Structure 1
Amino acid sequence: MSWSEDCLWWHVYPLGFVGADIRGGHHLTQPPQHRLTHLERWLDHVVDLGLNGIALGPVFASTSHGYDTVDHLRIDPRLGDEDDLRHLVDAAHARGVRVLLDGVFNHVGRDFPQVRDALADPTGPAARWFRHDPDGRLAVFEGHDGLVLLDHDAPEVVDHVTRVMTHWLDLGADGWRLDAAYATPPQFWAQVLPRVRAAHPDAYIVGEVIHGDYAAVVQESTMDSVTQYELWKSIWSSLRERNFYELDWTLTRHDALLDTFAPWTFVGNHDVTRIVDQIPDTRHHAHAHALLLLLAGTPAVYYGDEIGLHGIKEERLGGDDAVRPAYPDAPGTWTTEQQATIDLHRRLVSVRRRHRWLRTARSRSLVLQNELLVLELTARDGQAQGPIVLALSTADAPATIDAPCTELLAGDAWRDGSTWQLPAHGWAVLR
């Protein structure tokens, strides 16, 4: 069994986490700032939550926000240097924590050396690295002039990405998140990843895929997993609109995906509004975290969600800043509300740890109403473990749950003879 099957992740956007300036670009000629030590001081917090993986956003040299890479083989000087990353990886591994890197291989920044060469000599060898518009200009990603699209049919690009991924796995990283994998041909990854895995067969690879046929992308690309945006949207939308029928429909597709792979699940990341702002009713925030940590898949907790941070993404320059904040120098004294959210995560992670089969568990709705959902989670392939019942209410009245359960694992239900009572707006995990 691969180590990745037991990995629960803490997802961090490093440039924001350490408070680096993501505007300007003058840092590229400045001495390294060695800020990755800031992240190292939070590794015990990761372990305290019960998580055992840290998924890093971009750490390679870039002009601004990290996704306009200029050198895949150099650590961004705003974060430090290669020794700093090596030290972070070693410190994580010493605690049993795996490290995932963010690979931006769909596009590069304008200061990427081959981009400069291609602009200087449009017919030279560097031009083969990039896609071109019909007018001959370098094509860009989703209208962003600073993000130049790589040509994934070019052997030079295949070799470059293979070399980069292998280099950092050699250094000690455990896997990769592939940025904008939805825009990169799966056939490209089918060329790259077998070569990478020849040297690192245990490397875990997850692609950022927003829409489309998730299972087909995994099969055609040879990735291990892709991001489950459909479930993310359904979780907050169902709770916000008090419509569990949407979540029930999504779980049907989610269960089908498990025949091919275990999706990367989340309720927050560096590109979306915080879960506490997606769901205005604070009484339903715990419901979202329970769904994340108990439903099948590979859960990732986005830094700040474990303490209930707010942040609204806006479609403007700097519109991501609110969801990519700086963190304190080290864990300190939490407010009562923050500590309660941390304790909630610990409890849910503990349930997940004690029931490892939840990673591929099938779900079935025992009760489905607009404001009440009772899910039965059952081990795959008829294994002896389980089932577990997850009951969620967004209703103003209490509910009676008629389920043959004998133990409350988490939440706020209570036993009443042969049934369980769920308070208004309550939730419970039963066995």
Structure 2
Amino acid sequence: MTIADSALGREPDWVAHAIWWRAYPLGFVGAFPESTDGSASPDQHRLLRLIPWLDRVIELGASGIALGPIFASSSHGYDTVDHFRIDPRLGDDTDFDTLIAEAQARGLRVQLDGVFNHLGREHPLVSAGSAALKRGDDGGLVSFEGHGALVELDHSNQETKRLVIDVMRNWLDRGADAWRLDAAYRVPPQFWVAVLPEVRRSHPEAWFEAEVIHGEYNAFVRESTVDSVTQYQLWKAIWSSIEDRNLWELAWALKGHSEMLREFAPTTFIGNHDVTRIASVIADSRHHPHAVVLLGVLGGTPTVYAGDEWGFRGVKEEREGGDDAIRPVFPVEGPEALPGRDLYVTALYVELLGLRRRHPWLHRATTSEPRYLTNEHLEFDVVFDDQRLTIALNLGDEATTLRDGALLAADPVTRSFPGALAAHGWAIVR
């Protein structure tokens, strides 16, 4: 890939094989909310607690770890006070270097969370009255979406551009491979045009995923030169079409998803640190696998939120501390110490991510018009050049016919009766 290609937002070649495992480190290691027994003191080197989980990431079938905020902050990580320092609740620079070395030794890529739309109110730029901060008509500092502890940056200011470029380069130099651009939807695309090509000149293999919740994704990618956006539209269609037994919604969303894939590969997910766990939002546990199937086979760059692969439950609530249930502490001992882990769900993730790794063309695969579509039954193809797989989903109480072909994966009942898609079943056919 050339630097000129990068400036156009073309993704690095390695991303075609990327499958991320996303973790929220401050919650994962019990550093936020802080425990009352003093166990979250700054001298615990908690970032190292991620290392025993790296082999599990490999076993799962992922190829990279996507980390939530790890830089010094006042509380939850998105109120940054120093972009160049590891949060002392997690550890220090040496701990970061150790984690990078352990990840690289296993062939795992590392993505960092770049909070570049706003700062924590305790950031030195705030106390200094920096020109890099956004101000309202009254001259006062602008808060991010009504959160008084978060102060927005002025993205037309050269100091802001220089800060973001320097931060990105610093941690890419230290071994990171990619950046998630938090709240990128709040940042003018022209800012990324000024910043990303500059970073790519020194790091042409870096990959940039923008958090974009709503809007016209294709236009954002074209105008900003990012490589990818978080596919919230597809996420919503997956869980609500399954929960409401309205697969017409999913079929419609797949059309838009395919339009994106003709220009770029979106970042797909069925769970992250900001939303209710998929196992909680889909009430009928028989249909939880259908969402995992879609994550495994649809075009894009898939991300598994830590704990989803064990069937974790957790509901996000719109209140102070409402994210805590979806950002739990993970045991230092590893998965064997996880309470209530669902081994069937784990095996399902391993099977489907393995299938995806054997079919890397799925990264840019689009979807066909449905072969069959009702509220409770959807059958469609994922296609790339001359490659094709058929996906069949059944949310109903009656078995249906399944087209002939090699059955690559399916629910247990469908496996036992070739040619029939079981009630509440699913299948992938070649």
Unaligned 5+ runs, structure 1: 119-125
Structure 2 residue aligned with 1:93: 104
* TM-score normalised by length of structure 1: 0.93
Quote how far apart the aligned CAs of 1:260 are: 1.2
Structure 2 residue aligned with 1:34: 45
Aligned residues with identical type, % of pairs: 52
SS at match of 2:363: helix
Tell me if 1:409 matches 2:394. Answer: no
Quote how far apart the aligned CAs of 1:32 are: 3.9
Q: Distance in 2 between matches of 1:260 and 1:32?
A: 46
Quote how far apart the aligned CAs of 1:41 are: 0.9
Q: Distance in 2 between matches of 1:290 and 1:342?
A: 13
Structure 1 residue aligned with 2:426: 427
1:22-421 mapped onto 2 (5 Å cutoff)? 22=33, 31-118=42-129, 126=130, 128-333=131-336, 338-364=342-368, 365-379=370-384, 382=385, 384-385=386-387, 387-401=388-402, 403-412=403-412, 413-414=414-415, 420-421=419-420
Tell me if 1:19 matches 2:30. Answer: yes
Q: 1:188 to 1:256 in 2, by over 3 A?
A: same
SS at match of 1:41: helix
* TM-score normalised by length of structure 2: 0.93
Aligned length: 413
Deviations 1:214-250 (A, max 9, x none): 1111111111000000000000000000000000000
Q: Distance in 2 between matches of 1:18 and 1:311?
A: 17
Contact 1:347 1:410 survives alignment (8 Å): no
SS at match of 2:76: coil
Q: 1:414 to 1:43 in 2, by over 3 A?
A: closer
SS at match of 2:191: helix
Deviations 1:301-343 (A, max 9, x none): 0001000111000000000000000001132436786211111
SS at match of 2:128: helix
Contact 2:155 2:191 survives alignment (8 Å): yes
Contact 2:114 2:179 survives alignment (8 Å): yes
Quote how far apart the aligned CAs of 1:404 are: 3.6
Quote how far apart the aligned CAs of 1:415 are: 7.8
SS at match of 2:83: strand
Contact 2:269 2:304 survives alignment (8 Å): yes
Deviations 1:121-177 (A, max 9, x none): xxxxx1x11111222110010000000000000000000100000000000000100
Structure 2 residue aligned with 1:121: none
Q: 1:31 to 1:404 in 2, by over 3 A?
A: closer
Structure 1 residue aligned with 2:13: 2
Name the amino acid aligned to 1:405: G
Q: 1:336 to 1:428 in 2, by over 3 A?
A: farther
Deviations 1:25-59 (A, max 9, x none): xx9xx754310110011000000001111000000
* Higher RCO (Cα < 8 Å, 6 or more apart): 2
How well do the aligned residues superpose, as a CA RMSD in angstroms? 1.7
Name the amino acid aligned to 2:217: Y
Quote how far apart the aligned CAs of 1:408 are: 3.4
Unaligned 5+ runs, structure 2: 1-11
Deviations 1:77-117 (A, max 9, x none): 00001111111011001001100000000000011101011
Quote how far apart the aligned CAs of 1:23 are: 5.9
Quote how far apart the aligned CAs of 1:348 are: 0.2
Q: Distance in 2 between matches of 1:389 and 1:341?
A: 22
Contact 2:71 2:86 survives alignment (8 Å): yes
SS at match of 1:129: coil
Structure 1 residue aligned with 2:5: none
| Greater displacement, 30-39 / 280-289 | 30-39
Q: 1:281 to 1:95 in 2, by over 3 A?
A: same
